[in-house]
Chain A
Amino acid sequence: MKKYYFLLPITGILLFMLLVGCAKTRIGKVELSDEKLPNFLKVGTTRAQEVLEQIGEPFGNREQENRSAMIFIDFQEDYVNLLITKIRREKAYRLDLVFQDDILQKAEIKKEGWGFGANMDPQLLQLLAR
């Protein structure tokens, strides 16, 4: 019987490896989880070019005559697996910027979705930028 004792530590390590796990993913070029606008954004003064320089290429963009709109997203996903408990937390935010004659006219952050223990629908995330 003593000969089988070598299996105990191996079994222990295996159980640990199979029963724990964690992962974190973030998608987006701007942090929006605190639901505060980036400091440099000032309605009436900030230009579209400044936004491109500070944040980068927007996820969604639309231009029509002298009006344009940019959309940035911030998607965060945390996953923890501990013994038999699996927790998956997802948050998605969207920053809408509207420009008139290249000057920021409106800026707002919307919390677009969340998930706890279940995935947000990827199709819905795609719609965020429409």
Chain B
Amino acid sequence: MKIKMRFLRIITGIGITLLVSSCSVSTFGKFQADEGIPSFIQVGKTTREEIMTTLGEPLVHRFVVGKETLIYNHERGEYIFLYGTYEGNELVIRLTDQIVSEVKLEKTGSGWGFFAPATSNNPGTRRSAR
């Protein structure tokens, strides 16, 4: 009887662990938003060529208010145990004569989930729709 009881406890313990343990991390993008603006980018010095070589092709390359603009995004969704988060950021680089004239990091979205992943915990689907 004692052995049966012990067996039951072990099975219950494993079952609970499996039921409540789940985790996932999804990322999308070519730079790390949590590290801030990449250190190699310097206003007035860095060229478009250097950016393209280091970060690769941008998600968006267009002219905004007459200035050449490169946009790289980074999205990250995490779900660990009981709590999930989502955060989206984009790196906006403006160029004048192929040299960086402005660079900024902008937040594009955020989310959380309790006992559930953040509802849009799937980077690269709708938020990257540019």
Q: Which residues of A contact B (CB under 8 A)?
A: 3-4, 6-7, 10, 14, 17-18, 20-29, 48-49, 52, 56-61, 63, 68, 75, 77-79, 81, 88, 102, 122, 125-126, 128-129
Contact = CB atoms under 8 A, between A and B. Distances in A.
Given A7-B12, A81-B116, A24 B64 contact: no
Interface of B: 5, 8-9, 12, 16, 19-20, 62-66, 69, 71, 82, 84, 86, 88, 90, 92, 104, 106-120, 125-127, 129-130
Contacts of A75: 109, 126
B5 A29 contact: no
A125 B116 contact: no
B115 A102 contact: no
Contacts of B86: 25
Contacts, number: 104
A122 B119 contact: no
A57 B71 contact: yes
A88 B115 contact: no
A58 to B, nearest CB: 7
